[in-house]
Structure 1
């Protein structure tokens, strides 16, 4: 019996292939026909390949692996289809067990196109079924009668998925059980990229996400729901409308940060109002939710159009106010460094007294990374404003701040010091 691998390939033993060849050659119930001859030639060619690869004396115990063509695989399970059927509403072909399990979970959309299904009728795809049967027989691959081999679920155990979804969403389940269920779901979605959580289960998962106090549980739920088309809108609404408590909004912001790590999501989050909502959270939230919002804003603003939008929506002012109040200074400085590559943002920073604040951070913050960001911002804003440049000169003349940073190994400090020296030694 051929064995099916995790990637959908089949491994066939040479002894099984020879047995199939003998059975084909000594059939008494039918005459030799061109189809059987072609099948025999295919098997002999495979055996010859084994002999070349392993030597003539070793073919009895050797194996060969066959990669299943993509169009023979079920889009849901990523495994060879045993009983291919057409979903009439969409015209797509799936393995019967997989698509029936998908429908039983309450899904009303196509797994591939996500378009709403007008009906759930299935009909056998005889053409692809015959083609798969011929492909298997030519390679000595025998499948058990029926749709699936015993214990095989086509790659995804949808009953298990349903149970895990209930466990994660249940407020009465102990934390350890919810964590274990979320972890299993996370692993399943990674093992089977085509597996999508049904939209009917998303609201329950989102509720579980908002109340999750354990970071591991939160991150696993985020991973599970990340492929849902509705999840970004739900998260943005939770932040924008100030729903739930501080922990809930912090978790929603953390989820948006995780989603923003995928470049294709960055513009989508902005278009859904997520960037504006996160900046508002930076301005009016509490420290726990502000910290998550800061990470999300920083990730989103690596996209130039998002950065321009954040600056236009008052991002510089909000960040500078937090810096002056000593709130999450390191996180705010990282965002400010992103803004400093924009001319309009630099003007706003100068008007808000950024140079004085940055030198104060350099003096008080021992974090080398934070100092590097401060120097990078100083380099950007002091060159474009005479008043700011005078403040840099004064700091160097009175405290040798830039020279000390050079000695500490802060990279861009050397550039500022070189410009100071070129401008004349009078500043000392």
Structure 2
């Protein structure tokens, strides 16, 4: 791994002197600040396993400088000459940079620190030279220093001038070993495990937890790098650490404490920040031609698969351009900062995958997958298997290369038997979540549908999984698979799928309900599947959930009624009053869907449906409010509703009974839909 000259931009945050010392601050106050800062730097611990000599040297020099500042404070000096004052102001800046550099080295990935050890050593040397220069021009004779302190200043200056930008030989040797290891992996040669263990021991990466933290630090480093070469180098290191973590320390269980990024699952996401398709936090919101906003990661596959309609409204898209919603993105980013959620974390995989193919990282991933699958097949207990499957789950979440490698290596057949193992809830959860993560890759969707037992296993978890989380992830897998139109047709015709989703949406906790509802919404995009959904009770379900989840319920009902024909209209008859309540109190998106649904019910349901709506107290006033304040589509639907109500009031029944459906037909269909 050749290090480019720009691979490590030293993290200098060089402040101006004015940032710390204002003109009205006395020279004594400046000395006090210098003493406090030098003592703070002196209290820092030298770096533990890399650049220890460089960091310890500059910390010792800073500690000696603090003696100078103590002496000056004891001398009760209140004002300095201009040249002395300038030196002290610059010293403050250099000390700040020293503190920043040591802290950065302590927090950066150890692997990356090793790879860039010469650049970091240069940064320490540069700061030492700056100290030497300032001490050279410091007018020590004018400061009334004691003889001992004068000699100390001379000593510090000498030590600073003698310092070289050298890397410790042991650090350099370790770096060479890692580069050789990466080269072997690139040439598809499995690394010697004893050599690997020696390297990781020297880096103090001695257990699964420290390796996991190292991987997170490297993932952060990918985002810090500006050029593709450096990003690619970091990604190769991630692959090496992942492999070593598995082969040296075994598969791990989820962490319960320690360093952990806060996740969006830990907080309640505002409804307006959720993507209507995935119901997840939008990272890159975009607007389609109908005015609806989606997350780019969700709407792009929809459009790329050949669909030309808006998922929310069903309207034909006048164009397929995706317009960035920058205002909303800024609001989401601000909210993420307040909640301490890494807004860019979800984009990491896209950045990683956007880098030119990294042969070393790819081979390291393949070796890791092979090791894990061999270990899984040899597992003699459910606990051991669960740890391995959890490792596969984490790997499948990381990037597209990992998903492809797991599927190509035969990972799916290995997971099947654990899907039906409700006796071991954690194992079942890890297995179905691994399949969910694998399904993100388009090519894997076909493998999941075609590999014997996988789809049936996912459906079994959906219907009778041991935990709500497992059921929810099974529903999310169904949703992911429906991204392929042919798969949506197949899944929409399966009674077990529909019943499982409806039962989960009806009885599950909020997070699982949303997983089920988004899958139902996707299935409803196929006209033939709508009949199965209606038969499965999806209209009754939306009626039950209308109060708790009005936006999701109204959206699903809108699509079902639009594509479901008379049976759906008849089933939705009893939801009219609830939809009217959503018109009055719902969010903009929920009101829009409710208005669209009511228009379809009234047009196809005849005068009885219109009479039911007209009987809602104050409905015309609510519709008038929507005409003035709703979204563009909501205003159009509100205008249609108002015309329908007025024609009905004028006795023009023929104008509200569309497509040849008479009131008698609807009344008959309603009776057929009612339970007997």
TM-score tier (shorter): 0.5 to 0.7
3-state SS in 2 of match to 1:319: helix
Determine the structure 1 residue equivalent to 2:510.
287
Determine the structure 2 residue equivalent to 1:328.
549
Unaligned runs of 5+ in 1: 1-150
Pairing of 1:135-174 with structure 2 (within 5 A): 158-165=366-373, 171-172=386-387
Shift of 1:295: 1.0
Deviations 1:90-147 (A, max 9, x none): xxxxxxxxxxxxxxxxxxxxxxxxxxxxxxxxxxxxxxxxxxxxxxxxxxxxxxxxxx
Shift of 1:306: 0.9
Unaligned runs of 5+ in 2: 1-358, 377-383, 653-676
Partner residue of 2:576 out of 343, 346, 355 = 355
Determine the structure 1 residue equivalent to 2:559.
338
2:529 paired with 1:306: yes
Determine the structure 2 residue equivalent to 1:187.
401
TM-score, normalisation: structure 2: 0.35
Q: State the distance in 2 between where 1:264 and 1:209 align.
A: 30
Pairing of 1:205-216 with structure 2 (within 5 A): 210-211=428-429
Q: State the distance in 2 between where 1:418 and 1:212 align.
A: 54
3-state SS in 2 of match to 1:330: helix
2:591 paired with 1:371: yes
Determine the structure 2 residue equivalent to 1:412.
637
C-alpha change, 1:153 and 1:251, in structure 2 (3 Å) is closer
Determine the structure 2 residue equivalent to 1:71.
none
Partner residue of 1:259 out of 481, 492, 517 = 481
Deviations 1:74-104 (A, max 9, x none): xxxxxxxxxxxxxxxxxxxxxxxxxxxxxxx
Q: State the distance in 2 between where 1:238 and 1:391 align.
A: 41
C-alpha change, 1:421 and 1:157, in structure 2 (3 Å) is closer
C-alpha change, 1:179 and 1:308, in structure 2 (3 Å) is closer
Determine the structure 1 residue equivalent to 2:112.
none
Q: Determine if contact 1:278/1:297 at 8 Å carries over to the other structure.
A: yes
C-alpha change, 1:221 and 1:251, in structure 2 (3 Å) is same
C-alpha change, 1:172 and 1:234, in structure 2 (3 Å) is closer
C-alpha change, 1:302 and 1:275, in structure 2 (3 Å) is same
3-state SS in 1 of match to 2:368: helix
Q: Determine if contact 1:316/1:349 at 8 Å carries over to the other structure.
A: yes
Shift of 1:162: 1.5
3-state SS in 1 of match to 2:408: coil
Shift of 1:392: 3.4
Q: State the distance in 2 between where 1:220 and 1:163 align.
A: 19
3-state SS in 2 of match to 1:385: helix
Shift of 1:422: 4.7
3-state SS in 2 of match to 1:252: helix
Q: State the distance in 2 between where 1:301 and 1:423 align.
A: 31
C-alpha change, 1:254 and 1:180, in structure 2 (3 Å) is closer
Partner residue of 1:220 out of 426, 429, 437 = 437
Pairing of 1:10-409 with structure 2 (within 5 A): 158-165=366-373, 171-172=386-387, 181-183=395-397, 186-190=400-404, 195=408, 197-203=410-416, 210-211=428-429, 219-223=436-440, 226=445, 227-228=447-448, 229=451, 230-240=453-463, 242-272=464-494, 273-323=496-546, 326-341=547-562, 342-350=565-573, 352=574, 354-365=575-586, 367-383=587-603, 384-395=605-616, 400-408=621-629, 409=631
Q: Determine if contact 1:281/1:289 at 8 Å carries over to the other structure.
A: yes
C-alpha change, 1:245 and 1:407, in structure 2 (3 Å) is same
Q: Which has the higher contact order (CA 8 A, sep 6+)?
A: 1
C-alpha change, 1:398 and 1:181, in structure 2 (3 Å) is closer
Deviations 1:186-236 (A, max 9, x none): 32445x799363444223785878535999x78534436642323211111
Q: State the distance in 2 between where 1:269 and 1:233 align.
A: 11
Q: State the distance in 1 between where 2:643 and 2:606 align.
A: 18
Q: State the distance in 1 between where 2:515 and 2:438 align.
A: 16
Q: Which has the larger radius of gyration?
A: 2
Q: State the distance in 1 between where 2:492 and 2:618 align.
A: 44
Shift of 1:285: 3.1
Deviations 1:305-336 (A, max 9, x none): 1111111222222222232xx23232222211
3-state SS in 2 of match to 1:223: coil
